Amino acid sequence: MKKIILSFVFAFVSMITFAQSTWTVDPMHSSVNFNIKHMGISFVQGRFDKFEGTVSTPGATLDNAKFNFSVQTESINTGVEPRDKHLKSADFFDAEKFPAMQFESSSLIKGKNNTYTLKGKLTIKDVTKEVSIPVTFGGVTKNQQGKEVAGFQAKFTVNRLDYNIKFDPTGAGIGKDVEVNLFFELVK
């Protein structure tokens, strides 16, 4: 009887330890990318090179998981230095005054297959707005070092004018909507 009780306690403690986890973004296998329309006829692509984030799971599934991400605005990279300098200025991100964009989740709603809707607050510059982001969960596996890794990707659109990025407010030269593409690999 004593062995049965000890086995049950050990299994229960192991399950709790496994279930409660924090996952951290692996910047070597992740990216924060964007596309924005230029002159109404083409697109400019870019990325942010510095970002970090965590996903905390209170259970063995993604139910009630908490997502927190931060992107350093000074790390914007379109491959054109004068354009990047302008994007860091007060006309756009004002990177000196607002060094980071933030996202903090409020809920994660399971959809079909491996899709979810991630809801939360997105802060860019001095504006915070509620957003809903469609997310695809790629699954969990072990990397070459034997650590558990999880994959997520998301694609959504942000109206830059909603976040006080007011340069060219007509959208004639630089589009109003920015398509954001996120690819995250997280390590447990």
Q: Which CATH architecture has domain 20-187?
A: Beta Barrel (2.40)
Listed residue (55, 53, 49) closest to 95, CA to CA: 49
- pLDDT at residue 21 greater than cutoff 60: yes
User: Which helix or strand (DSSP H or E) is residue 112 part of?
Assistant: none
- pLDDT at residue 19 greater than cutoff 80: no
Higher pLDDT, 117 or 4: 117
Specify the pTM.
0.86
Q: What is the DSSP track for 26-62?
A: -GGG-EEEEEEEETTTEEEEEEES-EEEEEEESSSSS
Listed residue (114, 19, 109, 122) closest to 64, CA to CA: 109
- pLDDT at residue 8 greater than cutoff 80: no
Q: Report the percentage of the chain scoring pLDDT > 90.
A: 85
* 3-state helix, strand and coil shares in percent for the chain, rounded to the nearest 5: 20, 55, 30
Q: Report the percentage of the chain scoring pLDDT > 70.
A: 90
Q: Where along the chain do its domains lie?
A: 20-187
Q: Distance between CA atoms of 120 and 129, rounded to whole angstroms? A: 8
